Amino acid sequence: MQGLTATLLRGTWYMALPGSAVKAGATVARTLLGEPLLIGRDKAGVVFALRDACPHRGIPLRYGSFDGETVTCCYHGWRFDRTGTCVEIPSLREDQQVDLSKIRCGALPCVERNGLVWIYFSRSGEAPSGYQAEPPAMPVFADADAPALGIVLPFPCSTDHAAFGLMDPTHAAFVHTSWWFKSKARKLRPKEKAFEPAPFGFRMARHALPPQNIAYKLLGANVTTEISYCLPGLRIEEIRGDRNAVVGLTAITPVSEGETEVHQLFWVSMGWAKALRPLLQHLMTVFLDQDRVVVVQQREGLVHDPKLMLINDADTQARWWMRLKSEWIEAEAAGRPFENPLKPMVLRWRS
Ligand code: FES
Ligand SMILES: [Fe+2]
């Protein structure tokens, strides 16, 4: 059962940070999947990710400098390009021959797509290939379209508990209560939703949203939504009306086996939404922080390693999540392709 830590999947892309968080000619240090990284953008605008440790004496490269092309270590001035290859050792004299191309700090595959920086965490140094050749693309919007809104919060929990929160249909009435959203003690209603397998996950099949809701009216008539969940921790919601569309991404990125960053991003086709960014991002933060506070409290219980349970159908998606992860790990161990073990199913609950 899921406790304080989770098994982290490798051989896949993780959303590291929004592209806007790393300016041209700058670097940012981040620990992801327990690995210290230096994520940068060269002066031509290309993003890269280096292992944040100098191969000479191990000091983190983040203490050095970046000139827009190469990172210089703060200790003895060795310089590395964005592929992680050493290009200069200042102490060498002309007659001292060293093959610099063999000296590497190590770089991870790093791609910017939909305004997000994705990093591939390999199993054993392999390059991304097959279905994992590229990071996932957002629906509706072009690769060059950056999100209009984005927030991130640190969650002191494993990726499994963060994922359970994402796909938990029955906590909202108890956790997400505010004057502007849902007030407390609201009556629970019976719900029924059809689910189907999707690449590396499952999706709540496209269904109509209530036409009387003012927020959905902004998208036009016939507003529908489809919500997909996929490994290693992505929830993609695509809401479409006959005039406008909104795509929401929640990305669960492990900092370590027991800590997680939760990113929430929205792409919107209505240009005016950017003008409301401060207000909308504030509301998003209030909402996501309610989830964060719950996992902080949950942690107080999990340290005692209690026995936990998952019930039907409210927690069926959480069960699916664990089955998908097991299949990923088994397929990897057997050296065979991932086979989605899920079948179409209707889930029922009250929320
Ligand atoms: S430790 Fe980095 S150059 Fe010596
Ligand atoms: Fe929530």
* CATH number for 64: 2.102.10.10
Q: How far apart are CA 348 and CA 250, in angstroms?
A: 24
Quick check: 27 and 38 in contact, CB under 8 A?
Answer: yes
In a domain, 139, yes or no: no
> SS3 of 278, please?
helix
In a domain, 7, yes or no: no
Query: For residue 143, is pLDDT > 80?
Result: yes
DSSP lists the bridge partners of residue 236 as 228, 249
| Residues 172 and 95 grouped into a single domain | no
In a domain, 140, yes or no: no
In a domain, 299, yes or no: yes
Q: What is the pTM of this model?
A: 0.96
Q: How far apart are CA 37 and CA 40, in angstroms?
A: 10
Quick check: 317 and 163 in contact, CB under 8 A?
Answer: no
List own/partner pairs for 18-25 with CB under 8 A and 24 or more apart. Answer: 18/115, 18/116, 18/117, 18/146, 18/147, 18/150, 18/263, 18/265, 19/47, 19/112, 19/115, 19/116, 19/117, 19/146, 20/115, 20/146, 20/150, 21/117, 22/47, 22/117, 24/68, 25/66, 25/67, 25/68
What is the tens place of the pLDDT at every residue in 70-107? 999 999 999 999 999 999 999 999 999 999 999 999 99
Q: What pLDDT does 183 receive?
A: 58
In a domain, 68, yes or no: yes
Q: What pLDDT does 185 receive?
A: 53
In a domain, 207, yes or no: yes
Q: What pLDDT does 148 receive?
A: 96
Residue whose CA is closest, atom 1 of ligand 1?
A: 57
pLDDT band at 178 (very low <50, low <70, confident <90, very high): confident
99: tokens are 């093959």
- What is the pairing mode between strands 71-72 and 65-66? antiparallel
| Residues 153 and 126 grouped into a single domain | no
| Residues 128 and 165 grouped into a single domain | no
Quick check: 27 and 39 in contact, CB under 8 A?
Answer: yes
Q: How far apart are CA 225 and CA 209, in angstroms?
A: 7
| Residues 293 and 192 grouped into a single domain | yes
| Residues 159 and 261 grouped into a single domain | yes
| Residues 117 and 167 grouped into a single domain | no
pLDDT band at 304 (very low <50, low <70, confident <90, very high): very high
Q: How many CB atoms lie within 10 A of CB 261?
A: 22
Q: What pLDDT does 179 receive?
A: 62
Q: How far apart are CA 99 and CA 101, in angstroms?
A: 5
The DSSP 8-state label assigned to residue 85 in this structure reads: B
Residue whose CA is closest, atom 3 of ligand 1?
A: 76
The ligand 1 atom at the shortest distance from the C-alpha of residue 78 is 3
Q: What pLDDT does 2 receive?
A: 79
Domain that holds residue 101: 12-132
What is the tens place of the pLDDT at every residue in 199-242? 999 999 999 998 888 888 899 999 999 999 999 999 999 999 99
**Pocket residue to mutate for ligand 1, from 38, 50, 57, 104, most atoms within 8 A of Cβ:** 57
In a domain, 53, yes or no: yes
Q: How far apart are CA 38 and CA 51, in angstroms?
A: 6
**Distance (Å) from CA 291 to ligand 2 centroid:** 5
Which CATH number does the domain housing residue 314 bear?
A: 3.90.380.10
| Residues 345 and 219 grouped into a single domain | yes
Query: For residue 343, is pLDDT > 70?
Result: yes
**Pocket residue to mutate for ligand 1, from 50, 51, 62, 76, most atoms within 8 A of Cβ:** 76
Give the domain-ending residue among 103, 132, 161: 132
Q: How far apart are CA 81 and CA 51, in angstroms?
A: 12
Mean of pLDDT values over 262-266:
98
Q: Give kind and range of the element (H or E) at residue 116.
A: strand 116-121
Query: For residue 26, is pLDDT > 90?
Result: yes
Tell me how many domains the chain contains: 2
| Residues 174 and 81 grouped into a single domain | no
Quick check: 190 and 339 in contact, CB under 8 A?
Answer: no
| Residues 258 and 329 grouped into a single domain | yes
What is the tens place of the pLDDT at every residue in 327-339? 999 999 999 999 9
**Pocket residue to mutate for ligand 1, from 59, 62, 70, 71, most atoms within 8 A of Cβ:** 59
Q: What pLDDT does 291 receive?
A: 97
In a domain, 84, yes or no: yes
How many residues belong to the chain?
Answer: 351
Quick check: 104 and 85 in contact, CB under 8 A?
Answer: yes
121: tokens are 């965490």
| Residues 162 and 119 grouped into a single domain | no
The residues placing their C-beta within 5 Å of ligand 2, an ion, are 291
Q: List ligand 1's pocket residues with C-beta within 6 A.
A: 54, 56-57, 59, 73, 75-76, 78
| Residues 328 and 219 grouped into a single domain | yes
Give the domain-ending residue among 132, 165, 192: 132
Integer angstrom CA distances of residue 212 from 121, 158, 257? 44, 38, 43
Terminal-residue alpha carbon distance, the chain: 25
| Residues 211 and 262 grouped into a single domain | yes
Quick check: 260 and 252 in contact, CB under 8 A?
Answer: yes
Give the domain-ending residue among 73, 98, 132: 132
